[in-house]
Amino acid sequence: MKFNTKTIHGGQTHDPAYGAVMPPIYQTSTYAQTTPGGHKGFEYSRTHNPTRHALENSFASIENGKHGLAFGSGLAAIDAVIKLLKPGDEVISTNDLYGGTYRLFTKIYQDFGIKFHFVGMESHSKINSLINKNTKLLWAETPTNPMLNIVDIKALSKIAKINNILFAVDNTFATPYIQTPLDLGADIVMHSATKYLGGHSDVVMGALIVNNSSLAEKLYFIQNASGAIPGPQDSFLVLRGIKTLHIRMQRHCENAKMIAEFLNEHPKVEKVYWPGLKNHKNHSIAKSQMNDFGGMISFTSKNNDYDETIRILERLKIFTLAESLGGVESLSGHPASMTHASIPKLEREKSGVVDSLIRLSVGIEDISDLIQDLKQALE
């Protein structure tokens, strides 16, 4: 089955009870048993729920994985992965990590005795120099947030395999429309399904997808034992969102290309970060592992300071100033004061998150309206 069919049918069966074409919302916590243990595969909704189960099958299908797991948020999904580790274990991750992931690692799990290293993951020698017998996990994002750096998934998976380390990729920005990290050697794919998979900014959800069955068993155990699961309503919404993922992504990418080119030529713009631009420092890796370049763009403006940047954001009318990304509507953001405020200024500026950086989540509106909006805000 091709991707554009999997989004609609992948892992799905019509509901066995009445043949409902859409998976019904099984709004129930428990299931009748005819005799103790005599049930139809469902006992209690923290462990299993048919609507969530349909969604988990869909997650697995679109990411070319065997097992999918849904969580109450992206961070709950990441939390489940870190719970595979023990005190003394070490994790190597990227230095422009999603702010919430950085906070989870450094403000919670560091206190449990897990050690985190943050490096530019394009440098394989830096990664190799940090690996020791305690290293248990490589955690990558590509493209990264908000600098849109690209890391070579295949190369990292080789490093992980040689050293017997788990390799996880946060695939939130790219989505499986653009890249499927399991095919490139990753062990775990993670999503904030809040973003493109849900696609309509109306639900918070997380996902993990794996191939290895014993790893899946461990994660299912954590999912049930810790209990950070999504409810059936939200599971239904994300399933519905995934059915249009391919056509939404196509338009997100088309619009982002036009906007990146527009900004790239604009006299008030200093630098544009979008992996589809030839002047992007990782363009060749991007081209080799991505089918398209996504809907996220970051840029800085010339002679720009904090206040002027805020004024540009306030002038935007169609781009709504808001946290999050990946919905049908265009959003703008100021990483330094919003998504990345929890990262110390010095740390964040080292990775490029300066005060004048603006991040756009390009929606699927008419491109001429979006460009007009940016034009008036910049001028």
**Nearest residue to 141 (alpha-carbon basis) of 164, 173, 115, 108:** 173
Among 7, 93, 149, 194, binds ligand PLP (CB under 6 A): 194
How many residues interact with ligand PLP (rule CB under 6 A)?
16
**Residue 181 is a binding residue for ligand PLP (CB under 6 A):** no
Give the separation between CA 323 and CA 228, rounded to whole angstroms. 22
Does residue 333 belong to the site contacting ligand PLP (CB under 6 A)?
A: no
**Interacting span for ligand PLP (CB under 6 A) from 72-80, 85-93, 214-222, 252-260:** 72-80
Burial 65-85 (b: 16+ CB within 10 A, else e): bebbbbbbbbbbbbbbbbbbb
User: Does the footprint of ligand PLP cover residue 192 (CB under 6 A)?
Assistant: yes
Question: End-to-end alpha-carbon separation of the chain, Å?
Answer: 48
Name the amino acid, one letter, at 323: E
Q: Which of 79, 122, 141, 234 binds ligand PLP (CB under 6 A)?
A: 141
Among 68, 143, 206, 352, binds ligand PLP (CB under 6 A): 206
Which position among 6, 195, 248, 348 bears the catalytic label? 195
The binder of ligand PLP chosen from 12, 49, 57, 73 (CB under 6 A) = 73
Q: Do residues 168 and 137 lie in contact, with contact meaning Cβ atoms separated by under 8 Å?
A: yes
Stretch that binds ligand PLP, among 20-28, 189-197, 208-216, 238-246 (CB under 6 A): 189-197
Shortest reach from residue 339's CB to ligand PLP, in Å = 8
3-state secondary structure 146-214: CCCCCCCHHHHHHHHHHCCCEEEEECCCCCCCCCCHHHHCCCEEEEECCCCCCCCCCCCCEEEEECCHH
Stretch that binds ligand PLP, among 9-17, 48-56, 67-75, 237-245 (CB under 6 A): 67-75
CB 73, CB 79: distance < 8 Å: no
Catalytic annotation on 98? yes
Active site residue 170: yes
Cβ neighbours for 106, distance < 8 A, ≥ 6 positions apart: 116
251 is catalytic: no
Q: How far is the CB of 198 from ligand PLP (least distance, A)?
A: 9
199 binds ligand PLP (CB under 6 A): no
Contact residue for ligand PLP among 10, 50, 68, 74 (CB under 6 A): 74
Active site residue 86: no
Which residues make up the interface to ligand PLP (CB under 6 A)?
Answer: 73-75, 98, 100-101, 141, 145, 170, 172-173, 192, 194-195, 204, 206
Catalytic residue annotation: 46, 98, 170, 195
